[in-house]
Amino acid sequence: MYTLFVDMDFKAQHQLSFADGTQEPLHEHNWNVCATVSAKELDDNELIIDFEELKSMLSSILQDLRGQRLESLGAFEHRNVSAETLARTLYNELAPKLPRTVRLDSIEVTEAPGCRARYSP
């Protein structure tokens, strides 16, 4: 099994709402997203997937999030945008874009140094 990792950053705001009705203050993070993909075999170019191709796919998804208040976006409307839900949403958006020979193992989202979440189905 071969495994490849791509990391990208974006800045965006979020504001968690809690079950007791309280909300944390609106604040911004420099989110880091790590996509982990794998394949049993390499392609004709001896790659899982070209780094630039994977980065382009991930970048196109993140472009819509950059500089935004995440809860205002359709994908997160009426939901808390935690590192966990962001990781799951990014996974669900990236997985269908990959070639069938490439498996998306996980998406890891780092909200702040030492604070990260990983989603893998």
pLDDT in tens, 50-90: 999 999 999 999 999 999 999 999 988 878 999 999 999 99
Q: Show the domains of the chain with their CATH numbers.
A: 2-119 (3.30.479.10)
Residue range 83-109: average pLDDT?
Answer: 97
- pLDDT of 36 strictly over 90: yes
Question: What is the C-alpha to C-alpha distance for residues 37 and 106, in angstroms, rounded to an integer?
Answer: 7
Rg (CA), the chain: 15
- pLDDT of 96 strictly over 90: yes
pLDDT tens column, 39-48: 999 999 999 9
Can you give the pLDDT at residue 55? 98
* Angle, vertex CA 105, rays to CA 10 and CA 118, nearest 5: 50
